[in-house]
Structure 1
Amino acid sequence: MILSGDLQVQQAKSLWLRRAEWWQQDCIELSAVTALDSAGLALLVKWAKAVLTRGATPQVVGASADFYTLANLYGVANLFQSTSPTTEDK
């Protein structure tokens, strides 16, 4: 799953309504997310807990420093395994 743009209240509501489409994925690409608020983080926490319930590890790829600042502030950063975006050698 690749998320892009603002991950704030409006997008979080839309993604929540469509969670059946992406809830089973263990990895989410966040490098194209331009803004994140507590609603967006809450959605990602719910997703991470669903992944953990299945016995998998929730992975976020390309998360910004803002993501980790907010996740640390709320004490949920340990729910996510961080992975750097993969780039092909040129």
Structure 2
Amino acid sequence: MIKCRKAKKMMKDKLAGNFLQEFTILWDYVDELRLKNPRSTIKITVNRVTPHSPTHFKRFYVCFEALKRCPFKGKLLVVVGRDGNNQMYLVA
């Protein structure tokens, strides 16, 4: 039983490390987008429960400068829903 707990804890730690690594890559992606698309709007929102707790990803918004020049002025409607398993799916 102790081996199972150790294995479970080890896998949880590995998965948490992967999430942290992917989260830092997201910030690098934002920096690269800002570098390559200077007049684009790029916003990333994170949640923090307490000032000392780790950040949790909430949302990511991008409006490229080229879309702002088109007739629709960057307005694009996308609707996303959640199913019974809390998974996201595209509605429209």
Q: Is TM (by shorter chain) over 0.5?
A: no
TM-score of the superposed pair, with normalisation by structure 1: 0.31
Name the structure, 1 or 2, with higher relative contact order (CA <8 Å, separation 6+): 1
TM-score of the superposed pair, with normalisation by structure 2: 0.30
Greater Rg over alpha carbons, structure: 2
